[in-house]
Chain A
Amino acid sequence: DVKVTQSSRYLVKRTGEKVFLECVQDMDHENMFWYRQDPGLGLRLIYFSYDVKMKEKGDIPEGYSVSREKKERFSLILESASTNQTSMYLCASSLLGGGHSPLHFGNGTRLTVT
């Protein structure tokens, strides 16, 4: 079974702090994704990566950056956290891109910015 592990389940940060959300997958998947989940808005893609050191913007990349130095690890970075970034963040991985194979999600990190 694919396991996608997000380092923190809950996180509370102050406005202006730099925040790192970490995600690790154990199935050698090429593709990794960061989504943000808000009530009534579903899952919105922030960034994705289809290979080490490769990244592409999703639909809402503003205020975020990512890092993928190793195949199994994909980090989401909030350069200067703001209250409107309070949300549930979900990491996912897939074997193939382009919607050809299932996404496997982590359990999420609920981030509160005060």
Chain B
Amino acid sequence: QQPVQSPQAVILREGEDAVINCSSSKALYSVHWYRQKHGEAPIFLMILLKGGEQKGHDKISASFNEKKQQSSLYLTASQLSYSGTYFCGTGPLSGAQKLVFGQGTRLTINP
């Protein structure tokens, strides 16, 4: 079952902050975040593993709450280059090797 992302779309001005959420109905081992620009391949941003960790680089960070089976991606002081569609991918606690992706969140940053 696909994780659910919210919001589906968000429009910001350059310099504003954004939060994208990813919720799963299943117990999770890992959460991945990817960004895809129009016409391009999705690009890996970060992985968070079971243990409730938080990660970040530059002005993009993420948290993983395994009890709530949720992850959030935080983009602070957004830049024009942050525009694109963001996908979370969830890896189950056990069983199959596969990663299941959410439906995506389209982020538009305007000058």
Contact = CB atoms under 8 A, between A and B. Distances in A.
A98 B30 contact: yes
B40 A48 contact: no
Contact of B91 (A58, A98, A106): A98
Contact of A42 (B32, B44, B91, B102): B102
A99 B47 contact: yes
Interface in B34-50: 34, 40-44, 47, 49
Interface in B71-111: 87, 89-92, 96-104
A56 B40 contact: no
Given A40-B103, A58-B98, A98 B41 contact: no
A84 interface: no
17 contacts: A33-B99, A42-B2, A42-B5, A42-B87, A45-B98, A50-B97, A56-B96, A97-B97, A98-B29, A99-B47, A99-B89, A99-B90, A99-B92, A100-B30, A100-B47, A102-B47, A103-B44
Interface residues of B, number: 27
Given A100-B30, A107-B41, A108-B41, A35 B91 contact: no
A108 B42 CA distance: 10
A58 B101 CA distance: 12
Nearest to A35: B101
Nearest to B40: A107
Contact of B99 (A41, A45, A108): A45
A42 B101 contact: yes
A108 B40 CA distance: 8
B29 A106 contact: no
Given A59-B100, A105-B41, A100 B91 contact: yes
Contact of A104 (B29, B44, B49, B96): B44
A21 interface: no
Nearest to B90: A99
A75 interface: no
A103 B99 contact: yes
Contacts of A25: none
A97 B90 CA distance: 12
